[in-house]
Structure 1
Amino acid sequence: MTAALADQARLDLPAHWPAALGPRALAGLDATTPFLAVDLATVAERYTAFTAAIPGVSTFYAMKCNSADAVLGTLAALGSGFEVASAGELRMLRELGVEASEVLYSNPIKPPAAIAEARRAGLWRFSFDSEGELHKLAQYAPGAAVYIRLRVDDSTSLFPLSRKFGAEAHEARALLLLARELGLRPYGVTFHVGSQCATTSAWRQAIAAAGRLMTALAEDGVQLEMLDLGGGFPARYVERVPSLDQIAATVNAALAELLPYRPALLAAEPGRHLVAESAVMVTTVLGREVRAGENWLYVDVGAYNGMMETQQTVQQWRFPLWTSRTDHALVPHLPFTVTGPSCDSSDTMFYGVNLPATIEVGDRLYIGSAGAYTLSYASHFNGFAPPEPVFVGGPIGAGVPAPAVPASLVPAPAVPASLTGAGVPAPGVPAQLPASLTRVAGRS
């Protein structure tokens, strides 16, 4: 990159940086760093765009990547479903008024007590990928609907997930037939192409594998009711990723061409794609030093209290960065190593990132696209508190009643009486969110 191009690159925030979280707006937020500024309007926009791009596919937000009440409430108000990985996550949703019958439990390996608790609450759809899990489900959630997780190629994702979970294609048919023998309901198939997937072809290959399984099961008299596309839908950071339109074109074509029939429910579990770009991590410079000719910047957030993904990728995870300096785009930039506040020398997030040569102690560093896997990973390591969320914008405003959920956005699936359990309410999403969520620029 020439010097002129490098200078131009510093003049503008990335196009996907929320307008409501520009440097001036962030400077006006009265909060102690580190904090995560979240624009709920961006969350709503991302959800609306996702559902429009893949028509007929129901969204079940993967809440593990950001489970702040205001985020969950915003999505629930828009008609989103939810996917959980634990009984604890299900409890959080129920406290917000989300019906357990509207939730998918997609963790393939679950504690027996969690299965029983979820079943009692009215959750009736459970993922699995092994014979052992089927026997647990038959014992603790008899008669439940089950969907198998297929192992698929996730080699083009930043975070491959296929080693820990996923049944091989040749095992899946027998496992779903075993589910039927155990009194469970063979309900569907799901997969995960890996988090932050970088190629659209991964979805086509995975849908093809699901289609082959559906064809084979039809010979056994089993017609699946759900195909779940899982997660992996990428967000924009620094590196280029496929656009939502490109992914949607591939997925829509694959669904039309590679399935023997269209299941009653097509589902997806986006997480990072919906929330990453909605937030900026705001952190203060604690120190600036030169060590062996290398510029070091010490800030009050690190891998252990919010930015763990920079460690998971061996410092190859690049986030868009900006600073509070008014001369940010006007002065020369220098390469900096940016490290966290803890006493752990490996608590370092970025290497060789260009920042204003004038940056000094007390200035703020803004880390963009920080809405996913930051709050949920944060700990109190070394006594440093996790960042607090501060919410702006969105359909939930200070003193404004939460919006009612349009009935057209909340199709109620037909749940057999045998699966709902005695005393379990009928499926649905509350028409009104709790009053505790009707605030803005506050703490969750």
Structure 2
Amino acid sequence: MISSAVASVLSADMLRVIDVPTPYLVTDLDTVADRYAAFTTALPGVRAHYAMKCNSSPEILRTLADAGAGFEISSIAELRMLQAQGVDPAGVLYSHPVKAPGMIAAAAGAGLFRFAFDSPGELAKIAENAPGAACYVRLRVDDSTSVFPAGNKFGTDLDEAYDLMLLARRMGLRPYGVTFHVGSQCQSTGAWRSAIRQAGALLERLLDEGIELTMLDLGGGFPARYGAGEPSIEQLGEVVEQEIALLPYRPALLTAEPGRFLVAEASVLAAKVIGRELRGTEHWLYVEVGAYHGLMEPMQSPGGWDYPMSSSVAEHAEQPTLPFTIAGPSGHATDVVGYAIPLPAGLTVGDVLYFGSAGAYTLAYASNFNGFAPPTPVFVGGVR
């Protein structure tokens, strides 16, 4: 079945009458707005800055801007996209911890003033290209309970974070805040509990140096619903509020960087079956969209990826299922996006598969690899 979050608008009956050739990714903008409202209700007082790397479609950016969201960027190109939608750079967070010097200068020139960092080298670049800027340090926290851990690519430990904030002050920068990332699609409320406590330890140590931080940024990792087991946003909100109450003080600005949570459940990917084969005892389906055309995340996830799925053929709902291996259309041997996926036994060439909760990273990762077109974006609902 398609994700319950989109079933009311993107029902199977509606999907079957969309007059767009497959493959396409249809997004309900009202669901995007609803997810934002759910986030702000569950985490009152926390300002949501959408992590636009997740899906930077102008329609989504406009929907979230109209709803009151802030934004988080990783490049100057992303900032330019926001400016095209009328977003003030002064309200944007530049949370990528390693930035090209020219991008720092361009962002500061546009009016952006808050920059993340996690090393002395990054501080030097910020001090040179954005003198006097507000800086927030990224802590390295436990991300082992996420589907996509961040590993050691970014972040620093508590002791070094303390030293770096003192260094930032000496360099004429403004020690502004602390951030972290518990890993994408985090499966445990305990990850936020532990990370906020680490941030609290830094807040307390810096007080002894006369530094009171303005911002605590809870980062990303807020999970969307794909199958079962993900903590709800309400559960996460309770944990966050409990831990913030235990901090040595409540920073004036509480922020977070949700991405997947806001957009994943709003979209359904439609892709036609172009081949069905029996290879030994294994049933294979080949579809129009593969890992290199939007479905990269199944390749990145060690345990696979469970999109809620259905078929365009209504009669299939009454059929028994078979375990299928699902492969993309390209000639690359790694272009396989699912194993032992239970789907109707009667699926055949020409049928359309619907992948629910497909709004996160699908378009961002899509390419024309091997000459196969990525999904066409389609938008319903909202004011476009």
Same fold (TM over 0.5): yes
Query: Would the aligned equivalents of 1:18 and 1:39 in 2 still touch at CA under 8 Å?
Result: no
Partner residue in 2 for 1:385: 373
Pick aligned residue for 2:49 from 34, 54, 60: 60
| 1:280 partner letter | V
Partner residue in 2 for 1:426: none
Measured in 1, the distance between the counterparts of 2:3 and 2:109 equals 47
CA separation of 1:14 and 1:141: change in aligned 2, threshold 3 A: closer
Structure 2 residue 66 is the aligned partner of structure 1 residue 77: yes
Correspondences of 1:29-178 after superposition (within 5 Å): 29-178=18-167
Measured in 2, the distance between the counterparts of 1:104 and 1:331 equals 50
Measured in 2, the distance between the counterparts of 1:14 and 1:224 equals 40
- Tell me by how many angstroms 1:18 deviates: 3.3
- Tell me by how many angstroms 1:386 deviates: 1.4
| 1:222 partner letter | I
Partner residue in 2 for 1:8: none
Helix, strand or coil for the counterpart of 2:362?
A: coil
Pick aligned residue for 1:361 from 349, 372, 375: 349
Query: Would the aligned equivalents of 1:239 and 1:318 in 2 still touch at CA under 8 Å?
Result: no
- Tell me by how many angstroms 1:14 deviates: 4.1
* RMSD (Å) for aligned C-alpha atoms: 1.0
CA separation of 1:357 and 1:52: change in aligned 2, threshold 3 A: same
Measured in 2, the distance between the counterparts of 1:188 and 1:13 equals 40
Deviation by residue 1:337-388 (Cα, 9 ceiling, x = unmatched) = 1110000121011111111111111110000110001100111110111111
Pick aligned residue for 1:306 from 294, 308, 315: 294
Structure 2 residue 269 is the aligned partner of structure 1 residue 281: yes
- Tell me by how many angstroms 1:13 deviates: 4.3
Deviation by residue 1:266-319 (Cα, 9 ceiling, x = unmatched) = 000000011000000100010111111211111100000100001111461111
Query: Would the aligned equivalents of 1:152 and 1:162 in 2 still touch at CA under 8 Å?
Result: no
Measured in 2, the distance between the counterparts of 1:299 and 1:183 equals 55
Structure 2 residue 228 is the aligned partner of structure 1 residue 239: yes
| 2:189 partner letter | T
Helix, strand or coil for the counterpart of 2:316?
A: coil
Pick aligned residue for 1:256 from 245, 250, 267: 245
Query: Would the aligned equivalents of 2:179 and 2:219 in 1 still touch at CA under 8 Å?
Result: yes
Pick aligned residue for 1:325 from 301, 304, 313: 313
Partner residue in 2 for 1:334: 322
Helix, strand or coil for the counterpart of 1:21?
A: coil
CA separation of 1:106 and 1:73: change in aligned 2, threshold 3 A: same
Structure 1 residue runs without a partner (length 5+): 1-11, 397-437, 439-444
| 1:38 partner letter | T
| 2:149 partner letter | P
Structure 2 residue 194 is the aligned partner of structure 1 residue 210: no
- Tell me by how many angstroms 1:56 deviates: 0.6
| 1:299 partner letter | V
- Tell me by how many angstroms 1:15 deviates: 2.6
Structure 2 residue 14 is the aligned partner of structure 1 residue 25: yes
| 1:308 partner letter | M
Measured in 2, the distance between the counterparts of 1:331 and 1:267 equals 47
Partner residue in 1 for 2:257: 269
| 1:337 partner letter | T
Measured in 2, the distance between the counterparts of 1:47 and 1:114 equals 29
Helix, strand or coil for the counterpart of 1:16?
A: helix
Aligned positions, number: 384
Measured in 2, the distance between the counterparts of 1:312 and 1:151 equals 21
State the identity %: 57
Structure 2 residue 362 is the aligned partner of structure 1 residue 374: yes
Pick aligned residue for 1:198 from 176, 184, 187: 187
Measured in 2, the distance between the counterparts of 1:15 and 1:40 equals 15
Measured in 1, the distance between the counterparts of 2:159 and 2:217 equals 19
Helix, strand or coil for the counterpart of 2:342?
A: strand
Helix, strand or coil for the counterpart of 2:347?
A: coil
| 1:225 partner letter | T
Pick aligned residue for 2:214 from 225, 229, 254: 225
So what's the TM-score if we normalise by structure 1? 0.85
Deviation by residue 1:157-181 (Cα, 9 ceiling, x = unmatched) = 1111141000111101110010000
Query: Would the aligned equivalents of 2:312 and 2:354 in 1 still touch at CA under 8 Å?
Result: yes
| 1:211 partner letter | G
Partner residue in 2 for 1:349: 337
Deviation by residue 1:212-248 (Cα, 9 ceiling, x = unmatched) = 1000000000000000000000011123200111111
Measured in 2, the distance between the counterparts of 1:277 and 1:266 equals 25
Structure 2 residue runs without a partner (length 5+): none
Query: Would the aligned equivalents of 1:18 and 1:277 in 2 still touch at CA under 8 Å?
Result: no
Partner residue in 2 for 1:400: none
